[in-house]
Amino acid sequence: MGKITPFLWFDNQLEDAVKFYTGVFKDAHVQSINPMTASFVLEGQEFMGLNAGPMFKFNEAISFFVKCETQDEVDYYWNALIADGGSEGQCAWLKDKFGVSWQIVPNALGRYLGDSDRAKANRVMQAMFKMKKIIIADLDAAAAG
């Protein structure tokens, strides 16, 4: 595993969170779990978790960026992560039911926004600003003009 590991502070829902995340991501497993701490891996990224009480809450200053190739993949992660109490945000952002922020981003968005045709990139950006979940077909239409 890498040298840097995200560490997530939960009030008292650590076990539920670990089960949720390892159920959402296909390449996932639990390395260790006890009533106080857990170590788990999602798509090759190790995470640590702690049941530590209500003193601190998650906020949008930190989010996890999920790269997606297809609309099916975007739809899957979007729907899975907002299930059971999560909430949609703007421009690919959402919060899961634990309050953790995620960005579910199709690779097409980065390709379009980095296009050397700045008019095309701007049209795509303006289209993105109107979206919650990113719809690749709508990005394609904006890019085409």
SS3 106: strand
1 band by pLDDT with thresholds 50, 70 and 90: low
Residue 29 has pLDDT above 70, yes or no: yes
The CA radius of gyration of the chain, in Å to the nearest whole number, is 17
Say if strands 45-51 and 7-10 run parallel, antiparallel, or are unpaired.
parallel
pLDDT digits (tens, 9 = 90+) for 32-73: 999 999 999 999 999 999 999 999 999 999 999 999 999 999
CATH architecture of the domain covering 58-145: Roll (3.10)
Question: What pLDDT score does 98 carry?
Answer: 98
Q: Which residue has the higher pLDDT, 2 or 119?
A: 119
| Domain boundaries for CATH 3.10.180.10 within the chain | 1-56, 58-145
CA count, 13 A, side-chain hemisphere, 21: 29
- Give the CATH H-level superfamily of domain 1-56: 2,3-Dihydroxybiphenyl 1,2-Dioxygenase, domain 1 (3.10.180.10)
